[in-house]
Amino acid sequence: MATNAIDQTRRMLSLVTYLRERPGARVGDVARAFGITEDELIADLDVLPMCGTSFRGGDLLDIDTDGDRIWWHNPDDVAEPLRLAADEATALLVAARAVATLPGLREGDRQALLRATAKLEAAAGEAAGASSRLSVTFESEGGVFADVDRAIAERRRLWLRYYSPARDELTEREVDPIRLFAVGHTYVEAWCRLSEARRTFRLDRVAEIKLLDAPADPPPVELRDLSEGLVQPAAEDPEVSVEVGPGGRWVAEYYPHDSAEELPDGGLRITLRTPDPASLRRLALRLGRDGRIVAPQALADSARQAAEQALAAYGE
């Protein structure tokens, strides 16, 4: 199950302590202990070797796995007291103050971060004074995140004005939020009252949001395992064939597909499935000369008409 960055950070900090006390721990046992899948645990283990006690790359966690057991080769090296250089302390203090201003941060986490920042300022001495003259602010979808997080905590319904790129339009809808998660971008999974179905909304596409007084009452749904990504086509979804030239081979890397057949010109014939084939019209427009939809014919005709209309608009 996907989690937000704060929850993942908590888990990884606990994971370090857990592994230190259990050399050679089995992957399956650790995953069960933390309530995550083995794939999610392996993803965490891929990140941990990039962490350590120095911003300059020294004293990093030397953790690896053979797929069955997990080994930490230098636990004693990173257990020594942390010593920060002036530039490291400044960077850490600036980052800590910036994160403390995030609207979506839980109040308990904010207070814990502020206490840790105060301790670091006391230890940093003159470096703390330099960091106070620098600031970083986050804009993006912070306010939307805060409203969604509050709605989930208070079990309240939300009203959204949401941009749908597949239809290139703004729609208004009421939703009962289920969970927040991050897979590349930040999303809210919710029960949509307009479509009477579970839907996923990207926060940076929410044009306007309001908390409603109506209680959220989503029907019981089984949460999807998002460890394999957000888009997970089903076998019953319609099949689409796309031919791309050498400049469009990236499509096979970014879109889950059933097959990718090499073409004589260095391109690919890609077969994929999607619950909403019309959403691929935007892909066709983005590809331009580097690709085209070849099947089904109705979708190919629709994409061609969309391209002709776009060209006509440029002519006008």
- pLDDT per residue over 7-46, tens digit each? 677 787 788 888 888 888 898 898 888 888 888 888 888 8
Other CB atoms within 10 A of residue 204 CB: 13
Q: Is the pLDDT of residue 224 over 80?
A: no
- Which residues are registered as beta bridge partners of 179? 189
d(CA 47, CA 166): 34
- pLDDT per residue over 275-286, tens digit each? 667 767 777 777
Are 39 and 227 contacting, i.e. CB atoms less than 8 angstroms apart? yes
- Ranked by mean pLDDT, the top range of 110-114, 123-127, 143-147 is 143-147
- Kindly state the DSSP code that residue 60 receives in the 8-state scheme: B
Q: What is the pTM of this model?
A: 0.42
The H-or-E segment that residue 212 falls in is: strand 206-215
